[in-house]
Amino acid sequence: MNKYRVIASVHEGGVWEQRFKALEQAIKNAYGIVDPNASVSVVWQRIPAGQAYLAGEPSTTSTVVPPVPVDIKQEIREQFMHAVCQEWMEITGCSVNEIIVNAMNEDMVAKYMQISQGRLSKSKAKSRFALMFITALLKKWLRGYTSFNINLKS
């Protein structure tokens, strides 16, 4: 069974919070298109108000990054992105311009994460990540979903 961790960047307090179960299920169902044996988990990256912009203006657009196998055909990738996009709009009621899907090859997602972590001081990041991990576990226990804030306050 192949494991995929989907990152969904969403706005704090947005509709997703009431519909996360349906959204997670919809993403898992869509994975049937790319890999019927997929084991899928969704991590919600919460963006506080005033920290996201589109076209230079404040934005509430959500971005979903579902990793896909490296040997996937473009036709299948597009079907998959369409499925995620459609389900997201139906469940949240957002417009087509408020959802971005970036189905990156899984090796590229790993590379992106590597670059993203490379900007941080390893020694200082350790304690912050530990705190983030504990907070994420608490949230999972209290609310049922795994999430973290885009800010890393100590």
Partner 1 sequence: MPLYTISTRGELSAEAKAKAAMMITDVHCAHTGAPRTFVQVVFSEHLPLQDDMDLHVLASARAGRTQQLNDTIEQDIVQGMEHISSIPSLKIGYELFPVPASWVMEGGVILPEPGEEAEWLEKHQHSA
Q: Which residues are at the interface with partner 1 (CB under 8 A)?
A: 9, 47, 50-59, 61, 63, 74, 77-78, 81-82, 85, 96-97, 100-105, 108, 111-112, 115-116, 118-121, 124-125, 128, 150-154
C-alpha distances out from residue 127 to 29, 85, 116, 121, 131, Å: 36, 36, 17, 11, 6
CB count in 10 Å sphere of residue 62: 24
Distance CA 152, CA 80 (A): 32
β-pairing, 38-47 with 2-11? parallel
* C-beta of 38 vs 81, nearer to partner 1: 81
* C-beta of 25 vs 63, nearer to partner 1: 63
Greatest extent of the chain over all pairs of C-alpha atoms, in Å: 44
Supply 142's token pair.
């209290």
Q: Output the smallest distance, CB 18 to partner 1, in A.
A: 23
* C-beta of 1 vs 96, nearer to partner 1: 96
Q: Output the smallest distance, CB 90 to partner 1, in A.
A: 13
Q: Output the smallest distance, CB 3 to partner 1, in A.
A: 20
Distance CA 152, CA 22 (A): 28
CB 64 within 8 A of CB 99: yes
* C-beta of 137 vs 152, nearer to partner 1: 152
Q: Output the smallest distance, CB 135 to partner 1, in A.
A: 14
Q: Output the smallest distance, CB 91 to partner 1, in A.
A: 15
* C-beta of 54 vs 144, nearer to partner 1: 54
